[in-house]
Amino acid sequence: MQRLLRGLSAMDLHNVKHRRNRHTGGRPLSASGMLVAGFLLALLLTAPAQSASDIAGRWRTQDGATVEISDCGGAPCGKIISFPPPPGETQQTAMDIRNRDASKRGRKILGLTILWRLAPEGTGWKGRVYDPRRGFSANATVTRPDANQLSIRGCVRAIFNVCETETWRRTGD
C-alpha cells in the first residue's frame, strides 16, 4: 500500500480527498466510478497472502514417504514421518548414508527435516529441499496447484541449473 501511495503527487492526494479525477478534467468521480475504485482497493487489501497454514499437513511423496509440514520457528518446514525403508532396513534403523557431508551420514531418515527455510514468494514459497535418496540439498520452489497437491521443484546449480519437480498429494491422516 505504501508503494502505491509513494507514486502519488500532492495534487493526486488532493484529488482523492476531494473525489476528483485528473483524467475526468477535475470533475468529481461518479458514483459508479467510486464503486469501481472502492472495489479495486478492496481487492488489493484482501489479496490472499501465502501462509504456513496453506501447506501445513501431511503429504505423500511420489516414492511413498509421508512428509509432515508444520511451523518450525516461524517458518514452515517438512519432516519425514514415514517412508518405505530400503531392503534390510526398518524405518527406525535407516540412516542418511548418501549425504555428501560425511558428518551427517549417521542421522536417521525418520524425523529428518527435508524442507526448510520456506518463505512466501509470489503464489508459492521458496526455500531449501534435501533429497536423502541422492544425498544433496537444492533450492526449492513450492506451489499448490490445488488444495490436495504440492509441487516441489528443486534446482541444483552445476554448469547449468539441473531441476526436478515432484508432486506430493495430501494424505487423509
Per-residue pLDDT of the chain (173 residues; tens, 9 = 90+): 444 444 444 444 444 445 444 445 555 545 544 444 444 333 333 334 455 568 999 999 999 999 999 999 999 999 999 999 999 999 999 999 999 999 999 999 999 999 999 999 999 999 999 999 999 999 999 999 999 999 999 999 888 889 999 999 999 86
**128-161 pLDDT, tens per residue?**
999 999 999 999 999 999 999 999 999 998 888 8
Q: Are 84 and 63 in contact (CB under 8 A)?
A: yes
- If asked whether residues 89 and 137 sit together in one domain, one would say yes
- If asked whether residues 127 and 58 sit together in one domain, one would say yes
Contacts 24+ apart (CB under 8 A), 12-20: none
- If asked whether residues 34 and 72 sit together in one domain, one would say no
- If asked whether residues 36 and 67 sit together in one domain, one would say no
- If asked whether residues 64 and 100 sit together in one domain, one would say yes
- If asked whether residues 86 and 10 sit together in one domain, one would say no
Q: Residue 63: is it exposed, middle or buried by C-beta count within 10 angstroms (0-12/13-18/19+)?
A: exposed
- If asked whether residues 129 and 114 sit together in one domain, one would say yes
Range of the domain at 116: 52-170
Q: What is the model's pTM? A: 0.70
- If asked whether residues 108 and 149 sit together in one domain, one would say yes
CATH number for the domain including 104? Answer: 2.40.128.520
- If asked whether residues 121 and 164 sit together in one domain, one would say yes
